[in-house]
């Protein structure tokens, strides 16, 4: 659960990502956002944390990543020192009396991984939050009075309508402005993981894209399923790594990177992109099409000819009658 508090003694914040309140002061108390984790039966408070800067901070929306269990929180703040925004998609306070914040915490609420501001020069408030079940991208919705709300160019409604508008924003899984590394299409006969963590894509996971800071060295590891082997990379990784596994690439802010991992049945022949075995050709996504050798096709032709003899005789008999 999440909300706001001006209690300096909010329970179980020891060992939390933010153990103390930044703005719970007398005689004019401000308040911080808080996040708390309870047992399923609500009988135990596992962990809580404050979340906020030196002014007002209030949480309105919360979502839990379906794979990692990380906790995403959104709300509003007028703290220009909200914690963890360095490296975020919007590092600095945009202006106005209220600004949206989005924060990403570990599942145990003991680590604040990343925060970001989101807003323009006037009031901006968030009320809803959702996480894409495959990509992990974060969607935030609320209302704004800012006619300079960021990144609306190219949006479904690019310009401010006047007075108060709703907004919808799409952020990367890490809440940063880094380039996106993606595995596409998702392999079905193996799994691709990354170091640093972020990619876990294939039969063993569904996190097929992640954002990394410019200049980060990312290593992709291809692990085939039992009965399959890894034979090479496609997409951008084909040029960068060829058939090498692991594949280490350096993230550049100039463009996103999309790679494909190619697996095929163990013991089959062929090169990257396809492998034929037992009359099948299997590509990177695991789909197979029927193939055959010259001798097997000749045998099939002989069977068809043999079957056609009684059919041909039956047709002649019907014609005579």
Write out pLDDT tens, residues 108-154: 999 999 999 999 999 999 999 999 887 788 999 999 999 999 999 99
Q: CA geometry: angle at 103 spanning 101 and 108, to 5°?
A: 150
Verify that 187 and 160 share a domain, yes or no: no
Q: Say yes or no to pLDDT of 280 above 50.
A: no
Q: Are strands 32-38 and 45-51 parallel, antiparallel or unpaired?
A: antiparallel
Verify that 85 and 135 share a domain, yes or no: yes
Q: Which of 46, 38, 99 lies closest to 74 in space, CA to CA?
A: 99
Verify that 132 and 194 share a domain, yes or no: no
Verify that 186 and 166 share a domain, yes or no: no
Selected residue with higher pLDDT from 319 and 258: 258
Give a yes or no: residue 294 inside a domain. Answer: no
Lowest mean pLDDT among 146-155, 261-270, 297-306: 297-306
d(CA 146, CA 101): 15
Verify that 184 and 154 share a domain, yes or no: no
What is the mean predicted confidence (pLDDT) over 278-302? Answer: 34
Q: Are strands 200-202 and 280-282 parallel, antiparallel or unpaired?
A: unpaired
Q: Say yes or no to pLDDT of 297 above 80.
A: no
Selected residue with higher pLDDT from 198 and 299: 198
Verify that 151 and 186 share a domain, yes or no: no
Specify whether the CB–CB gap between 122 and 154 falls below 8 A. no
Verify that 82 and 205 share a domain, yes or no: no
Q: What is the pLDDT of residue 191?
A: 94
Verify that 156 and 70 share a domain, yes or no: yes
Verify that 6 and 146 share a domain, yes or no: yes
Looking at 119, 138, 171, the residue that finishes a domain is: 171
d(CA 160, CA 81): 28
Containing structural domain, residue 138: 2-171
Give a yes or no: residue 280 inside a domain. Answer: yes
Verify that 159 and 13 share a domain, yes or no: yes
Q: How many domains is the chain partitioned into structurally?
A: 2
Q: Which of 82, 273, 162, 92 lies closest to 73 in space, CA to CA?
A: 82
Q: Say yes or no to pLDDT of 92 above 70.
A: yes
- Please tell me the pTM assigned to this model: 0.69
Verify that 74 and 134 share a domain, yes or no: yes
Lowest mean pLDDT among 55-69, 156-170, 197-211: 197-211
Looking at 110, 142, 171, the residue that finishes a domain is: 171
Looking at 153, 171, 189, the residue that finishes a domain is: 171
Give a yes or no: residue 301 inside a domain. Answer: no
d(CA 266, CA 66): 33
Give a yes or no: residue 313 inside a domain. Answer: no
pLDDT > 70: percent of the chain? 82
Verify that 186 and 167 share a domain, yes or no: no
Q: What is the pLDDT of residue 216?
A: 84
């Amino acid at each position: 659960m999440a909300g706001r508090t001006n209690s300096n003694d909010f329970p179980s914040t020891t060992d939390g990502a933010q153990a103390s309140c930044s703005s719970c002061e007398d005689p004019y108390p401000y308040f911080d956002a808080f996040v708390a984790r309870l047992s399923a039966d609500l009988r135990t408070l596992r962990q809580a944390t404050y979340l906020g800067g030196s002014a007002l901070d209030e949480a309105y929306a919360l979502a839990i990543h379906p794979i990692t269990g990380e906790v995403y929180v959104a709300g509003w703040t007028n703290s220009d020192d909200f914690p963890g925004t360095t490296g975020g998609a919007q590092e600095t306070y945009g202006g106005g009396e209220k600004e949206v914040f989005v924060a990403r915490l570990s599942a145990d609420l003991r680590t604040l991984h990343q925060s970001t501001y989101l807003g323009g020069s006037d009031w901006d408030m968030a009320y809803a939050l959702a996480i894409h079940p495959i990509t992990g991208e974060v969607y935030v919705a609320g209302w704004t009075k800012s006619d300079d709300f960021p990144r609306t160019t190219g949006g479904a409604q690019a310009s401010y309508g006047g007075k108060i508008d709703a907004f919808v924003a799409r952020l990367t899984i890490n809440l940063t402005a880094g380039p996106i590394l993606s595995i596409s299409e998702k392999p079905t006969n193996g799994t691709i993981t990354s170091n640093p963590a972020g990619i876990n894509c294939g039969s063993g996971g569904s996190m097929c894209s992640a954002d990394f800071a410019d200049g980060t060295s990312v290593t992709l590891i291809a692990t085939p399923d039992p009965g399959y082997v890894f034979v090479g990379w496609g997409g951008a990784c084909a040029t960068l790594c060829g058939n090498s596994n692991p594949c280490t690439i350096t993230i550049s802010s100039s463009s996103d990177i999309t790679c494909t991992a190619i697996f095929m049945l163990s013991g089959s022949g062929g090169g990257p992109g396809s492998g034929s075995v037992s009359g099948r050709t299997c590509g990177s996504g695991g789909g197979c099409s029927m193939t055959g050798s010259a001798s097997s096709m000749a045998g099939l032709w002989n069977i068809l000819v043999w079957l056609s003899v009684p059919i041909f005789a039956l047709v002649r008999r019907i014609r005579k009658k």
